[in-house]
Amino acid sequence: MAANPAAGPASLRGRAEIREALIDVVEAIRSGESRVLVLRGEPGIGKSALLEHAIEIGSEARVERAAGVESEAELPFAGLHDLCAPMLDHAERLPPPQRDALRAVFGLGVNGRPNGLFVGLAVLSLFREVGRERPLLCVVDDAQWLDSASAQVLGFVARRLERAPIGLLLAARGSAELGEFAGLEEIEVDRLPESDSRELLASVVRVPLDEGVRDRLVAESCGNPLALVELARAMARSDDGHAPLPAAGPTTARSALSKWSRHGQDGRVPDRGSERSMAVILRL
Ligand SMILES: Nc1ncnc2c1ncn2[C@@H]1O[C@H](COP(=O)(O)OP(=O)(O)OP(=O)(O)O)[C@@H](O)[C@H]1O
Ligand SMILES: [Mg+2]
The finding on whether 191 has its CB within 6 A of some atom of ligand 1 is: no
225 Cβ contact list (under 8 Å, min separation 6): 13, 44, 45, 46, 49, 192, 197, 200
Which amino acid does the sequence have at 274? S
Task: Note the pLDDT tens digit of each residue in 230-274.
Answer: 998 888 776 544 444 343 334 444 444 444 333 333 333 333 333
From 67-71, 85-89, 107-111, 230-234, the region with the lowest mean pLDDT:
107-111
Inter-residue contact 161 to 167 (CB < 8 Å): no
**Residue 122 Cα to ligand 1 middle (Å):** 34
- For the chain, the domains span 5-188, 194-277
pLDDT range class, residue 186, cuts 50, 70, 90: very high
The finding on whether 53 has its CB within 6 A of some atom of ligand 1 is: no
189 SS3 class? coil
The model's pTM: 0.83
Residue 140 has pLDDT above 90, yes or no: yes
pLDDT range class, residue 120, cuts 50, 70, 90: very high
For the purposes of burial, counting CB atoms within 10 Å of the CB of 222, is it exposed (0-12), middle (13-18) or buried (19 or more)?
A: middle
CA separation for the pair 236, 279 (Å, rounded): 6
Mutate to test the pocket of ligand 1, among 39, 45, 169, 282 (most ligand atoms within 8 A of CB): 45
The side-by-side arrangement of strands in the sheet containing 186-188 is 62-67, 136-141, 166-173, 35-41, 186-188
**Dihedral angle at the C-alpha atoms of 201, 204, 209, 214, nearest 10 degrees?**
-20
pLDDT range class, residue 129, cuts 50, 70, 90: very high
Q: Which ligand is nearest to the CA of 250?
A: 1
> Please, what is the angle between helix 251-258 and helix 225-237, to 10°?
50
**Residue 17 Cα to ligand 2 middle (Å):** 19
- If one compares 176 and 223, the residue with the highest pLDDT of the two is 223
The finding on whether 120 has its CB within 6 A of some atom of ligand 1 is: no
CA separation for the pair 202, 184 (Å, rounded): 36
CA separation for the pair 152, 245 (Å, rounded): 40
Task: Note the pLDDT tens digit of each residue in 36-70.
Answer: 999 999 999 999 999 999 999 999 999 999 999 99
The finding on whether 170 has its CB within 6 A of some atom of ligand 1 is: no
CA separation for the pair 140, 38 (Å, rounded): 9
| CATH architecture of the domain with residue range 5-188 | 3-Layer(aba) Sandwich (3.40)
pLDDT range class, residue 123, cuts 50, 70, 90: very high
The finding on whether 255 has its CB within 6 A of some atom of ligand 1 is: no
CA separation for the pair 96, 133 (Å, rounded): 21
pLDDT of residue 273: 33
pLDDT of residue 239: 52
The finding on whether 143 has its CB within 6 A of some atom of ligand 1 is: no
